[in-house]
Structure 1
Amino acid sequence: METTAEKKIILEVDHLKQYFKVKTDSLFKPKTFVKAVDDVSFQLFEGETLSIVGESGCGKSTTGRAILRLDEPTDGQIFFAGKNILELSKKEMRKLRGDLQVIFQDPFASLNPRQTVKQILDEAMAIQEVVAKPQRMDRMLELLRYVGLPPESLDRYPHEFSGGQRQRIGIARALAVNPKLIICDEAVSALDVSIQAQILNLLKELQKQFQLTFLFISHDLSVVRHISDRVMVMYLGKVVEIAEKKTLFDSPLHPYTQALLSSIPTLDPTLKRERIILKGDVPSPMNPPSGCRFHTRCPFAMEKCKTEEPALKELDRNHFVSCHIAENLPQ
């Protein structure tokens, strides 16, 4: 089995910050910011699926948007294939977008309702200049075959398809420009469970066929367990744990990860699982707690957690955790 050290890094995020200024009704009030993503660092390896999980508002989707530069990051560096994309001009970034694609949560909102499937796919190939015009029809038919849609779909509009079919069109559009990395932002959360399974299996087949790399953003841990190679857990704009899928699901070290995993429903009525109920609400990202951001809800918090922010450390092989409690556990 290939080790992490032997894998090629395709994406490296270094101390990424994404702050949003909050509007005030007075000129004399100090500036206030929502710290949606606050000092996030991680690596993504070629050909793998890294999933980002966490509660709503933890910064998952904002991280994805910052990597794509749909929102300009406040600080940090993002290296894709060795290039710092935050230093690229708009023209250079536009060219790079062929390698960096996204599949959004709502397939209906992300597709132009005034364009047919043919126009949607043709526009993507024309902008990136990946296929000459005479060959585009053959390429479009090929893309439909890859995603499991009939050829006659080309002349239909998005509203004429079901939600699962529209998501297949979104996947075909992403594939049309021959990407290296696809960010899936809650790509199946708006679909029925049976359709979710079909789309997830399709993504896995396409990944194998085209050597794709996925950054998969989701709140559904069952979905994450099915598709991931590694999992990154975020809480209130911070990374709290990163590990290979089996390690994280079998031996989570951070108390927040343990609470998340305890909430996964089981179909086996004989299986007894202790549910960890977190007290209190998620603090405001405008005024996050000092020290460890999770200490206000952590059942194991100690004085050090309230004052000293834990660093993300490798406590076991390829298992990174940001927690004072976990650091003191016997390895």
Structure 2
Amino acid sequence: MQATADKKVLLQVDHLKQYFPVKTDSIFKPKAYVKAVDDISFHLYEGETLSIVGESGCGKSTTGRAILRLDEPTEGKVYYSGKDILGFNKKEMRKLRGDLQVIFQDPFASLNPRQTVKQILNEAMAIQDVVRKPKRMDRMLELLGYVGLPPEALDRYPHEFSGGQRQRIGIARALAVNPKLIICDEAVSALDVSIQAQILNLLKKLQNQFGLTFLFISHDLSVVRHISNRVMVMYLGKVVEIADKKDLFDTPLHPYTRALLSSIPVPNPDLKRERIILKGDVPSPINPPSGCRFHTRCPFATEKCKIEEPALRELDTNHLVSCHYAENFQ
């Protein structure tokens, strides 16, 4: 699938839904569902970093898990290199997992505490059969070099490392199978700020070195600004805005995006700027509002917003927004 003459679409997500059933206290009540991801569509270019941002519970991580089929999606299509992977059987998916890897939020919980680093890396290569057994030691040493760990780390267990070092092990494990797309699920949120910068710089270096594509999930807009090419903003299971990083940070067109950006801390006590304080709480994903999902907290909402759901439309070149009145913010 070719989007432009110079950009190839590696991943295409069409009308993806991920609903989770909720137990009811009566057999006579209709089934209720948590609509964690509710009919979203987007694409990811080869070699780029697309970041997904939004409040906790907006569906960021669920989107990543659904793409990888760690949770089976309720509806929709996920095309990888033009093929709908939701139709793949277990054998086909196992083969594909070499191309699709994930770096989890908690670097300690994602590593087997009973395995050494050597066993962790060897297991990944053995399952995907990407390196012959006699050459695996050389490959493991090579991987440690890529992520900045010494060779003696191979014989140590996860608990013997710091959080940043454990995340480097997680990155090495993802690289071990020669992936093309890596989903980074809050990959730096559990780390100290100084360590976050090191890991982000490492990811950018590896991306340039191996031509990797990243789907970067985060709630930290400062981190997103550092690593992204494009940014997708989600609210209550819906996509509300997608744009190039510069366009989104310079000219946000959705009221929710404007509120998010106004909350970014600025390390300058003398700088005064307008903060947009949203009223009320995020509605329940079991019973989301009609019309625009954001209208219950939007200071610009009208009756139309309460009734009619806005379509995700292209207002400027490569700048998509889901708001009836987005032109007012141009």
- Give the root-mean-square deviation of aligned CA atoms: 1.0
Name the SS for the 1:324 alignment partner: coil
Name the counterpart of 1:310.
310
Name the SS for the 2:240 alignment partner: strand
Aligned 8 A contact 2:104 2:186 in 1: yes
Change (3 A) 1:226 1:313: same
Change (3 A) 1:330 1:126: closer
Whole-angstrom distance in 2 between the partners of 1:5 and 1:247: 22
Name the counterpart of 1:329.
328
Q: How does 1:1-331 map to 2 (within 5 A)?
A: 6-326=6-326, 328-329=327-328
Whole-angstrom distance in 2 between the partners of 1:329 and 1:188: 35
Aligned 8 A contact 1:4 1:318 in 2: no
In structure 1, list runs of 5 or more residues that go unmatched.
none
In structure 2, list runs of 5 or more residues that go unmatched.
none
If the length of structure 2 is used for normalisation, what is the TM-score?
A: 0.98
If the length of structure 1 is used for normalisation, what is the TM-score?
A: 0.98
Structure 1 residue 140: Cα displacement: 0.1
Change (3 A) 1:14 1:158: same
Whole-angstrom distance in 2 between the partners of 1:84 and 1:183: 18
Whole-angstrom distance in 2 between the partners of 1:6 and 1:248: 22
Counterpart of 1:136 in structure 2: which amino acid?
A: R
Whole-angstrom distance in 1 between the partners of 2:6 and 2:62: 29
Whole-angstrom distance in 1 between the partners of 2:319 and 2:180: 26
Counterpart of 2:33 in structure 1: which amino acid?
A: F
Change (3 A) 1:86 1:22: same
Whole-angstrom distance in 2 between the partners of 1:70 and 1:47: 23
Whole-angstrom distance in 2 between the partners of 1:227 and 1:17: 27
**Deviation >6 Å, runs of 4+:** none
Whole-angstrom distance in 1 between the partners of 2:110 and 2:102: 10
Count of aligned pairs between the two proteins: 328
Counterpart of 2:303 in structure 1: which amino acid?
A: E
Whole-angstrom distance in 2 between the partners of 1:329 and 1:274: 18
Structure 1 residue 329: Cα displacement: 3.0
